Structure 1
Amino acid sequence: MSKPCEIAWFSALCDDDYEFLGVPDPRLKSSWEHCRDIVMQAETGGFDNILLPSGYELGIDTTAFGAAIATWTKAIHLLMAVRIGESWPAQLARQIATIDRMAGGRLKVNIISSDMPGEKLPSAPRYARTVEAMQILKTLLNGEHLSHQGEFWNLDIDPPRVKTVSGKAPLLYFGGLSEDAREAAAKACDVFLMWPDKRENVAAIIADMDARAAKYGRTLRYGYRAHVIVRDTEAEARTYADRLLSKLDAEQGAAIRAKSLDSTSAGVAAQAALRENASDDGYAEENLWTGVGRARSGAGAAIVGDPDQVLAKLAMYREMGIEAFILSGYPHAAEADLFARHVLPRIDHAPLER
């Protein structure tokens, strides 16, 4: 743990903010004002980065939000999610460079291997398209001429005039557990993101991805996306976890999970298996609670405990090779404040750099 780790928070652009999981609250619905306030709370609390998620059907537009919030913030880095199926890579490169300029060099990009809204591409070609897009973005954002003859794009162009502040492509974060997703990550991303899992499974994924990247002469860095509930005592944290689920209707939870665009992915299946194999009180292992996954797709578990326990859990992941954490809690602004006061000052942290 000699190097600082990056600690990021989450701004709920995709209507994913609750006081009680699965119970919509008009006050917490995604909007410019609400999501802006979460980002500003995270910056005030000292977080290094914040994920700005993206979903076609849910919430507000991420690229537009990222450009706007860049002008409100001064220090926090912005991890802007982009859906490759909705993007033309050369234009996306110009958007990324422009927003990075607006943010003073604080932009990072979370690549999502999405479909075009209304269309459905099989997994293998969809991830092949994502690899092409990442390679195109890196070339153009590194200020290099692009001569690309691919399956999805044939481009012979100079980079856009606008450059990122560094003159280089920002770090590309990317995640996925299917065979196609793992190969795509090994070929082209910089930071491989994982969702919560048992420690032995996290270790196995890192070992597998190290080997895959090595085949292409590359190395990867690793990030971990999880929810967190920290309170003065473990009992208080566990009580709050139970409260989060106290008004959840099982059918409503299933409907929320099914609505997500990634509801059938390998990663979501792994989260479901983690939840199904947990103890009766929902814990997959010490201080890892799977109840969140009953009311959302995607990352479905939370680190739950007192400050020492949460810190120890993060330290364990760091020892395994995790360099970046993307955390969240419900409601997001309130939990950001709690984590910032109870845990963040005790962690050696800083934005992830090349």
Structure 2
Amino acid sequence: MSLSNPSCEVSWFSALCDDDYEFLGVPDPALRSSWEHCRDIALAAEQGGFDNLLLPSGYSLGIDTLAFAAGVAPLLKRMRLLAAVRIGEVWPPQLARQLATIDQMLGGRLTINIISSDLPGETLASGPRYRRTVEAMSLLRSFLNGEAVDFEGDFYRLKLDPPRIRPVSGRAPPFYFGGLSEDAREAAAEGADVYLMWPDRLEAVREIIGDLSARAARRGRKLKFGYRVHVVVRETEALAREAADRLLSRLDDATGEAIRNRSLDSQSAGVRRQAELREAAAGDGFIEDNLWTGIGRARSGCGAAIVGDPDQVLAKLRAYQEAGIEAFILSGYPHMAEADLFARHVLPHLNHGPLTFTDAGA
């Protein structure tokens, strides 16, 4: 294995939203979201050498993202945190204070995953919802850059002096953002720093990167690209496939459907695309070499896994890099065990480190 490949950011996932299992769809009290369990995942990911850790956010599931980020920040020495924030549920000035404070607690290692969410019970159409998200991103960036705000938008009207509390760098941390619809793509091109995508065929990944790059260029901007996917890595391909099959061995279709439907974004364009891939896959669940869609039978959102031996997983990640991916957000079940396997078998052979930005926050 060569170390000559380009650098990429490799992140793991802390299961804050009750999304950790030994057998998908079968709750295990020992794996339910709690401070202790999710803290241990974070510490294991840092010890394993990961560059960043996604802290997901669910309205009704699990524990609070920003409270957890603040609690775990003093325990981490090196790793970044990627804190997910649901824009429909927050007030931008308050959120900016929280994020700047957590960034200070982390010594400047905070990154932000923007989610264009509704409030539960709210049914704002896609266009207005993403326009609200763009306004919120603009406001957050101004606050975190330490700028005065005099803003008159469709959703926010604010006039505030420059905030005293700012991130360590004095600039807004990078905004990671995902969404497959037309409105989401336009919002990403307008306000994001990193566009995140869920698993898809390689040709679709290339098409999405080309499309978003062009949209950003028309605004005089550049995007970096990230890929969110599960992994199942074992010493041999046969063992990896056995592990994947074992994950689903106690799942019934009704339970899987209930898990998928309970998500607030269960009807989004991205979730529909994951379902299309699952339906188009071969009988064994593979949609292309080493990309297995079976995991989506019990999960809304990111619904596929890279499955294989260390060489196959590494080759798949490098193929995504060649397509233009610079950041990976990985996960597996159970999360601590799979993080350890990936850290031992694959991570040492990747040239990796935190993403760098010449104009982040601009």
- Return the TM-score normalized by structure 2: 0.97
Query: Share of identical aligned residues, percent?
Result: 69
Choose from 318, 337, 350 the match for 1:315: 318
User: Would you say the 8 A contact 1:31–1:59 is kept in 2?
Assistant: yes
* DSSP 3-state at the match of 1:71: helix
2:100 is the alignment partner of 1:97: yes
Choose from 204, 221, 224 the match for 2:224: 221
Letter of the 2:342 counterpart: F
- Show the counterpart of 2:166: 163
2:264 is the alignment partner of 1:261: yes
Distance 1:301 1:2 in 2: 24
User: Would you say the 8 A contact 2:188–2:195 is kept in 1?
Assistant: yes
1:120-131 matches, within 5 Å, as 120-131=123-134
2:235 is the alignment partner of 1:248: no
TM-superposed CA distance for 1:2, in Å, is 6.0
Q: Could you give the per-residue CA deviations for residues 265-312 of structure 1, whole angstroms, max 9, x where no partner exists?
A: 000000000110011100000000001100000000000000000000
Q: Could you give the per-residue CA deviations for residues 233-285 of structure 1, whole angstroms, max 9, x where no partner exists?
A: 00000010000000001000000000011100000000000110011100000
- Give the unaligned 5+ runs of structure 1: none
* DSSP 3-state at the match of 1:322: coil
- Show the counterpart of 1:8: 11
- Show the counterpart of 2:144: 141
Greater mean deviation of Cα atoms: 326-335 or 209-218:
209-218
User: Would you say the 8 A contact 2:259–2:300 is kept in 1?
Assistant: yes
TM-superposed CA distance for 1:158, in Å, is 2.0
Letter of the 2:167 counterpart: T
Greater mean deviation of Cα atoms: 318-327 or 210-219:
210-219
TM-superposed CA distance for 1:159, in Å, is 2.7
- Show the counterpart of 2:360: none
TM-superposed CA distance for 1:148, in Å, is 1.1
- Alignment length, in residue pairs? 354
Letter of the 1:126 counterpart: R
Distance 2:334 2:6 in 1: 30
Choose from 326, 345, 349 the match for 2:352: 349
User: Would you say the 8 A contact 1:140–1:158 is kept in 2?
Assistant: no
Letter of the 1:149 counterpart: E
- Give the unaligned 5+ runs of structure 2: 358-362
* DSSP 3-state at the match of 2:164: coil
2:304 is the alignment partner of 1:301: yes
* DSSP 3-state at the match of 2:326: strand
Greater mean deviation of Cα atoms: 140-149 or 182-191:
140-149
Distance 2:98 2:6 in 1: 31
Choose from 18, 21, 26 the match for 1:18: 21
* DSSP 3-state at the match of 2:75: coil
- Show the counterpart of 1:41: 44
User: Would you say the 8 A contact 1:141–1:159 is kept in 2?
Assistant: no
TM-superposed CA distance for 1:120, in Å, is 2.2
Distance 1:173 1:52 in 2: 12
CA RMSD of superposed structures (Å): 0.9
2:80 is the alignment partner of 1:77: yes
- Show the counterpart of 1:201: 204
* DSSP 3-state at the match of 2:12: strand
TM-superposed CA distance for 1:88, in Å, is 0.6
- Show the counterpart of 2:241: 238
Choose from 62, 69, 93 the match for 1:59: 62
* Runs of 4+ residues deviating >4 angstroms: none
- Show the counterpart of 2:273: 270
Distance 1:60 1:117 in 2: 17
